Chains A and B, each alone.
Chain A
Amino acid sequence: MLEIKNLCKAFHKNKSDEKVIFEDFNLKIKSGEFVTIIGGNGAGKSTLMNLISGTIFPDRGKIVVEDRDVTKLPEHKRAKFIGRVFQDPLKGTAPSLTIEENLSLSMLRNSRRTLSFGVKKNNSEFFMKELEKLNLGLEKRLKTKVGLLSGGQRQALTLLMATITKPKILLLDEHTAALDPSSRDKILNLTNEIAKDEKMATLMITHNMEHALNFGNRTIMLKQGKIVFDVKGEEREKLDASEIQNSFNF
């Protein structure tokens, strides 16, 4: 599904303050995998997601999605098969547009935007059904401006918008870090439901060891741009959150 080959990335290249983040980085993720990514601050986790989504481009190496080389594809074109949720709940939605308008925009991800009306009446039933799954009562508030929602509500909506067109890859960068415990649990369970899709690969960055082990089916740890730890299956089941925390103290 997703294959990263010999990836190299440095910031401020060829300047005195050059900072190498990745050197010959390799990673293969199959569809149906839900990978949790851990690692200390500055390990390169967000940079990895930015490289996968095309926000930034690698110096060398290849990014392949389902046998297609996407290394040079700009961000907005990759968005057709990559869904993303950021840490900041404000980043994933347009505040002055309504819930319905935001969802309509995300429905158009795979198609060319035209001069037909952006909000289609016959979509609203589908939107309501999808919003119902969030269990936040948003299905009754299609005409509410997103700017009026709470951070948790906005993050849930962002998650829905990121996955409504069934992307091949879902990237989650500490997407529950800014939420209170109850919204956090809600969003995590929702994420779990969505990530069950066998045709999709999910990558979730988290600083919470328990979440990293309890959710998903594979865990990798990054340290200075290298994978120092990659477990799945039984081996992963046996792991204990505090154990990793201690043995890799970061």
Chain B
Amino acid sequence: MNILISTCSQGLIYAILALGVYITFRVLNFADMTAEGSLTLGGSTCAILISNGVDPISSVLISSMVGAIAGLATALLHTTLKMQEILAGILTMISLYSINLRIMGKANVSLIGKNTIFKMVGNTQISSFLVGLVICSLLLLGLTWFFKTQIGLAIRATGDNEQMMRAQGANTNLKKILALMISNSICAISGALISQSQGYSDVNMGTGTIVIALASIVIGEALLQKDSFIVKLISVVFGSICYRFIIFLVLTLGMNPSDLKLFTAILAAVLLSLPNIKKVIKRGVKNVGN
């Protein structure tokens, strides 16, 4: 029972990251590598604020704003300096490594003995689960609303067909900037919660997390195939929780924890290519039929 709840709450906290990544990867169609850096940025900013006595909720909010700035940096590299999206993200991500070290002053900051969002609501396993659930639900509602507004719709259309959006009178660069800022501020919130939940922030805490987010997204898509936007977002959250159970399972089955990143990457690769594999198989069957 305990393991069930703790796995779920971990899934929920990482679901926040997956939702942030979903906005860039799926909605905007922008492969944004900044996410790993902004997760750590959120974690380190929040940890340093809390350890200096700032209350946890304000710390999370400030972290999210700092995350938005990271998104802005990538967006500007891409839109004004015309850099390729992957490269723009990698440059920001690498810079954030140094910036995070500057923020923390060292490679990690401990939160032992400090107040955290989780301690504020009782510091039991159930309460961390509830914190994750509440924040995820708020995000789901907020994002669903936002992507129904005129601006949100324009962002979705920009990801879908940028040329059309420009022909429809939209400044698509502004839409990309906005989407990247929102996405990275959400990734930073995730980082801020991760550091509070594990009790420390670490300069390497973001490494590989983008693959985890991607795996969660594709697991979710494999589970729930629906057209409505809110269901798509909910499937991301489910995907993240499922991912945690899969990891729990393979670890109990004896997988070496150091192989987890490889395992996650392969899982993501397989699920991402599933639609194409299906197509190939279908074509194969047809050819045999002929």
Least CB separation from A106: chain B residue: B168
Tell whether, in the assembled complex, residue B171 and residue A94 are in contact, meaning their CB atoms are under 8 Å apart: no
Q: Which residue of B lies closest to A158 (CB)?
A: B164
Once the chains are docked, how many angstroms separate the CA of A156 from the CA of B167? Answer: 16
Smallest CB gap from B175: residue in A: A113
Task: Confirm or deny: A93 has a beta carbon within 8 angstroms of a beta carbon on chain B.
Answer: yes
Q: How far is the CB of B259 from chain A (nearest CB, A)?
A: 36
Chain A binder among B7-15, B146-154, B264-272? B146-154
B99 on the A face (CB < 8 A) = no
Flag if A105 contacts B157 (CB, 8 Å): yes
Q: Which of B156, B160, B161, B169 contacts A80 (CB 8 A)?
A: B169
Asked if A110 CB lies within 8 Å of chain B CBs, one says: yes
A114 touches B156 (CB 8 A): no
Q: Is the CB of B154 within 8 A of A113?
A: yes
Tell me whether B161 and A93 are in contact (CB under 8 A): yes
Residue of B nearest to A96 (CB): B160
Q: Does A250 contact B (CB under 8 A)?
A: no
- Residues A215-238 near B (CB distance < 8 A): none
Tell me, yes or no, whether A186 is within 8 Å of chain B by CB: no
Interface residues on chain B, number (Cβ under 8 Å): 23
Q: Which of B165-180 contact A (CB under 8 A)?
A: 165-172
- Within 30-86 of A, Cβ neighbours of B (below 8 Å) are at 53, 74-77, 79-80, 84, 86
Most buried by B among A91, A105, A161: A105
Question: Is B163 an interface position by the 8 A CB rule?
Answer: yes
A-side interface residues, number (CB < 8 Å): 35
Partner of A76, one of B148, B150, B172: B172
Which chain A residue lies CB-closest to B146? A115
CA–CA, A90 and B153, complex, Å? 18
Q: Residue A152 at the B interface, CB < 8 A?
A: no
Check A105–B161 contact: CB distance below 8 A.
Answer: no
| Inter-chain CB contacts under 8 Å: number | 86
A101 in the interface, Cβ–Cβ < 8 Å? yes
Which of B151, B163, B170 is the one whose CB lies under 8 Å from A91? Answer: B163
Question: Distance (Å) between the CB of B230 and the closest chain A CB?
Answer: 14
- Does A109 touch B at the CB level, under 8 Å? yes
* Complex contact B171–A76 (CB within 8 A): yes
- A81's nearest neighbour on chain B, judged by CB, is B169
A113 in contact with B170 given A97-B157, A108-B150, A118-B149 (CB within 8 Å) = yes
When the two chains form their complex, are residues A114 and B153 in contact, meaning their CB atoms are under 8 A apart? no
Give a binary string over B171-212; 1 marks a CB under 8 Å from any A CB, 0 the rest: 110000000000000000000000000000000000000000
| Complex Cα gap A110–B164 (Å) | 15
Q: Are B170 and A97 within 8 A (Cβ)?
A: no
Evaluate contact between A115 and B163: CB separation under 8 angstroms.
Answer: no
Q: Of B150, B161, B170, which is within 8 A of A118 by CB?
A: B150
Which residues on the B side are within 8 Å of A79 (C-beta)? 166-170
CB–CB B164/A93 < 8 A: yes
Among B150, B171, B227, the most chain A Cβ lie within 10 Å of the Cβ of B150
User: B163 — which chain A residues lie within 8 A by C-beta?
Assistant: 86, 91
With A91-B164, A108-B150 as given contacts, are A76 and B156 in contact (CB-CB < 8 Å)?
no
Chain B residues at the A interface, C-beta cutoff of 8 Å: 146, 148-154, 156-157, 160-161, 163-172, 227
Closest 8 CB pairs of A and B: A118-B153, A79-B169, A94-B160, A113-B150, A109-B169, A94-B157, A118-B150, A115-B149
Interface contacts beyond A86-B163, A118-B148: sample of 11 additional A-B pairs, CB < 8 Å, sorted by A: A76-B172, A79-B169, A93-B161, A96-B160, A97-B156, A113-B170, A116-B149, A117-B148, A118-B149, A118-B150, A118-B153
